[in-house]
Amino acid sequence: MSALKNDRFIRALLRQPVDTTPVWMMRQAGRYLPEYRETRAQAGDFLSLCKNTDFACEVTLQPLRRYDLDAAILFSDILTVPDALGLGLYFETGEGPKFKKTVRSEQDIAALPKVNIGADLDYVVNAVKAIRSALGGQVPLIGFSGSPWTLATYMIEGGSSKDYRYSKEMLYARPELLHALLDHLAETVTDYLNAQIEAGAQVIQIFDSWGGALAHREYVEFSLNYMQKIVAGLIKEKEGQKIPVILFTKGGGQWLAQMLDTDADAFGLDWTTSLNTARQTVNGRAALQGNLDPATLYGNAQSIEKAVKLMLDDAYADGEKTGYVANLGHGITQWVDPANPKVFIDTVHEYSQKYLR
């Protein structure tokens, strides 16, 4: 495997000195890019795009050809795990992901198979190997999974949800059932992420997209505890390099103090938490990532530049010179003009240098 030509992303996650603030974007390979839409049309549909090694590799690399990004992220989906558990993932036009089967009873949970990652999710492992090879050490590759709680909500609801009606009913009426499901998912996700690390992923991010929907005690019991189990079970080092782990709970900024107990290296933030406040909370014990509102990229060059500079002023208000990665507070949306991310990325690299000299 090639040595990294640009390792500032990993250095920032490990709170080591950096020459400029590293930046990448959640969903950076996606529908806002015309070349992505073209490749997806070639693939036929979204799942075929994920499951074809050449296509998955191609769309992962597309944003790196356009922008000066400091990381690549595996092109896949968090719902590959429930799909491998036999729930029958499909995508309804205009309605997002759906499952043919739901998991709502003791019998449903007992019937869940043990996933054989090498057989059931080999297309993800193959994509990681292909992307890592194609990158040639240009930037690090991020592997990822959904958190057990987030995956459980999709499996229980049968798709996305606004009110988590069935998930929260199970949580409050049959908590032991939910714990059994979360245990099964934590074990599967640990195996899945370790397979990605073995295949070449150099950083891991766990997407807890729906953790913010939980009440404060329930967040720790039903989401954070299971992410902590995963972090504890991950391969810590590969090829002599530490594998940093990022936890991202959307709507989770208020739980940063509790998150520190997981021993994750970094925490992603959405746009609702001040970076200055977050830096004071973690107090040098972990790195932070985020937190630009993705809608900022609907603005013009001047408004984007202004928002990015304010974000960086917050990030470095405590005088620290590392331990921060610029990113959006959630995924980039399909309606963004592809010219605008360049303003975001270039402003991060140029403006942050004044804090890092």
Tell me which residues are annotated as active site: 27, 31, 40, 77, 154
Is residue 80 a contact partner of residue 56, using CB atoms and an 8 Å limit? Answer: no
Nearest-angstrom CA–CA distance, 147 and 212 = 12
Nearest to 324 by CA among 19, 10, 12: 12
Give the single-character DSSP code of 23: B
> Does the annotation flag 43 for ligand binding?
no
**Residue 326, CA distances (Å) to 84, 228, 250, 308 in order:** 33, 24, 16, 9
> Does the annotation flag 30 for ligand binding?
yes
Radius of gyration of the chain (CA): 19
Give the single-character DSSP code of 115: P
> Does the annotation flag 159 for ligand binding?
no
> Does the annotation flag 209 for ligand binding?
yes
SS3 helix, strand, coil % of the chain, rounded to 5? 50, 10, 35
In single-letter form, the type of residue at position 177 comes to: L
Helix axes 175-199, 148-157, angle to 10 degrees: 120
| Chain centroid, CA 108 distance in Å | 28
Nearest to 25 by CA among 354, 315, 308: 308
> Does the annotation flag 355 for ligand binding?
no
> Does the annotation flag 337 for ligand binding?
no
> Does the annotation flag 201 for ligand binding?
no
> Does the annotation flag 27 for ligand binding?
yes
Nearest to 289 by CA among 352, 230, 205: 205
| Chain centroid, CA 17 distance in Å | 24
> Does the annotation flag 77 for ligand binding?
yes
Q: Residue ranges for the binding site?
A: 27-31, 77, 154, 209, 330
Q: Residue ranges for the binding site for substrate?
A: 27-31, 77, 154, 209, 330
